[in-house]
Structure 1
Amino acid sequence: MRSAAHPPHSGRPDTLVVDGHGQGDRIVLRARGELVQGCTDTLAGVLAGLPTDVAGIELDLTEVSFMDSTGPAFLDVLREYGRRHGVAVSATGWRGQPRRVLELMGLDTTDPLRTTPPAGLRDRTASAVARERAEQLDSLRLEIAQLRHAIDSRPVIDQARGVLMAAHRCTPDAAWDILRETSQRSNTKLRRVAAAITASANPGGPALPEDLRTALRAAVDARRGAPGIGAPGLQDAG
């Protein structure tokens, strides 16, 4: 027996798949994917195809990775089937985010079918899930902003590395180390250090600020004689 829910939105959720096998007079169902919109229909379809003489149904959710506010309705489908047919039912194997949702609902995280959520709790659970998704979205937005900044900074950093490679006859890795150490010694953002070094290398460009010049000299001196760097005069770096 096997059934799957269709993906409910474009966020590429893991399709819920439910399959199972018999163990004596019991049926063990295994769910894999996400408990989202459509999961109740998937479970109802599987239950409808079960033999009528089973004594118990165990639903294993070890491989379920996410549950939204549809989760309680999913459990209700199994609970109602057991009540209607006089069959013992259980839902076990909760892990990760689905388990946290059960905790928010005040349900038994070993088998939530042992307890019934208080009236009105589903609305609060839906709000908690919405907050969690909002936090995930904020985290994703921050990561995207950081990536964009890194992409924007890459050209000027590469130019500065080229200046240092020419000025000190060093390898790209050594130039990167000098650039990074200059940033640390001067307590200046790496992109700003790179921009200043690049500008100072242009004909008629501004000289490096004194704090950056001092930090750059110290960074070069710290690496002088190390693999990947030569020893020309620091004045060549601007």
Structure 2
Amino acid sequence: MTSAARTPLAGRLNSLVIDARVEAGRARLAPRGELVQGCADTLAATLGGLPAGIDRIDLDMSGVVFMDTAGLQFLDHLGAYGDRHRVTVRTAHWNGQPRRILELAGLDAEAPLRSAAHRTDPAPSPPAPSPSAPSPPAASRPASAVALERAERLDQLREEVGQLRHAIASRPVIDQARGVLMATHSCTPQEAWDILREASQLSNTKLRAVAAAVTAGAEGDGPPPPPALRRALHTAVAHRLS
């Protein structure tokens, strides 16, 4: 059994497909693609098609390659289904960017449903020391090398969080541009992504700007992409689809 949901963009299938297999009262689900807008609807359709008598649902998430905040809605729906039907639900094999999103959201990637259900507000931070307070003894202070390493790690994490937030914010327009290219050139989602990325590199234009130009140009009275970007798109299409 396979389920897929439709998005508002030209009625095309979204980026998530769920394969389901039922054996001896256990449902094994294998989502493939992206947890983006519409993924909770895909999940609801799959769960709604399961036969009566299911007492356990296992999801293999290794086929999920990207998720944004809609992925958290996916988990909420999954957890609510398990509670409502008194079914044990487990997810496993979170990898790559989806696993990182779970970590940023404060969820245990090995058991995100359980950690979400038991999350509590973090304890309040201790008050900042008074400027006039004496410095701690040298023996209680971390070594300078350790402090430097921690500071560098903190900077890396801040940069990574910023990149992930930018990627999540940019995703809708990129998905729309992929849909336009798929409809225009009868290509696959991966080929559409490769075209956008190559056009971005050839024209030295940010990927989000390329996607926005493609989407705007698809509208009836929308402006065409700039000449340099138009040439880059033509080159990328010819290269990827020839």
TM-score normalised by length of structure 1: 0.51
Q: Deviations over 1:153-203 (max 9, x none)?
A: xxxxxxxxxxxxxxxxxxxxxxxxxxxxxxxxxxxxxxxxxxxxxxxxxxx
Corresponding residue for residue 131 of structure 1: 166
**Does structure 1 conserve the Cα–Cα contact (< 8 Å) formed by 2:16 and 2:35?**
yes
Corresponding residue for residue 96 of structure 1: 96
Corresponding residue for residue 64 of structure 1: 64
Q: Percent identity?
A: 43
Deviation at 1:141, TM superposition (A): 8.9
Q: Deviations over 1:195-233 (max 9, x none)?
A: xxxxxxxxxxxxxxxxxxxxxxxxxxxxxxxxxxxxxxx
Deviation at 1:13, TM superposition (A): 8.8
Corresponding residue for residue 49 of structure 1: 49
Q: Deviations over 1:37-94 (max 9, x none)?
A: 1110110111111122111001111111110110111011110110001100012121
Matching of residue 16 in structure 1 with residue 74 in structure 2: no
- C-alpha change, 1:15 and 1:135, in structure 2 (3 Å) is closer
Amino acid at match of 1:106: G
Matching of residue 143 in structure 1 with residue 201 in structure 2: yes
RMSD: 3.6
Q: Which has the larger radius of gyration?
A: 1
- C-alpha change, 1:19 and 1:13, in structure 2 (3 Å) is closer
Q: In the TM superposition, what are the counterparts of 1:176-215 in structure 2 within 5 Å?
A: none
- Segments of structure 1 that go 5 or more residues without pairing to the other structure are 152-238
Amino acid at match of 1:111: A
Amino acid at match of 1:143: Q
- C-alpha change, 1:52 and 1:135, in structure 2 (3 Å) is closer
Amino acid at match of 2:55: A
CA distance in 2, matches of 1:120, 1:6: 36
**Does structure 1 conserve the Cα–Cα contact (< 8 Å) formed by 2:62 and 2:95?**
yes
- Segments of structure 2 that go 5 or more residues without pairing to the other structure are 123-160, 175-196, 206-227, 232-242
Q: Secondary structure at the match of 2:107?
A: coil
- C-alpha change, 1:80 and 1:24, in structure 2 (3 Å) is same
**Does structure 2 conserve the Cα–Cα contact (< 8 Å) formed by 1:34 and 1:65?**
yes
Corresponding residue for residue 38 of structure 2: 38
TM-score normalised by length of structure 2: 0.50
Corresponding residue for residue 5 of structure 2: 5
**Does structure 2 conserve the Cα–Cα contact (< 8 Å) formed by 1:68 and 1:129?**
no
Corresponding residue for residue 80 of structure 1: 80
Q: Deviations over 1:75-134 (max 9, x none)?
A: 11110110001100012121111111001011111221121175899xxxx987432346
Q: Secondary structure at the match of 1:50?
A: coil
- C-alpha change, 1:24 and 1:128, in structure 2 (3 Å) is farther
Q: Deviations over 1:129-150 (max 9, x none)?
A: 432346899x9897344486xx
CA distance in 1, matches of 2:112, 2:198: 31
**Does structure 2 conserve the Cα–Cα contact (< 8 Å) formed by 1:55 and 1:87?**
yes
User: How many residues of Structure 1 are paired with residues of Structure 2 in the alignment?
Assistant: 145
Amino acid at match of 2:201: E
- C-alpha change, 1:51 and 1:15, in structure 2 (3 Å) is same
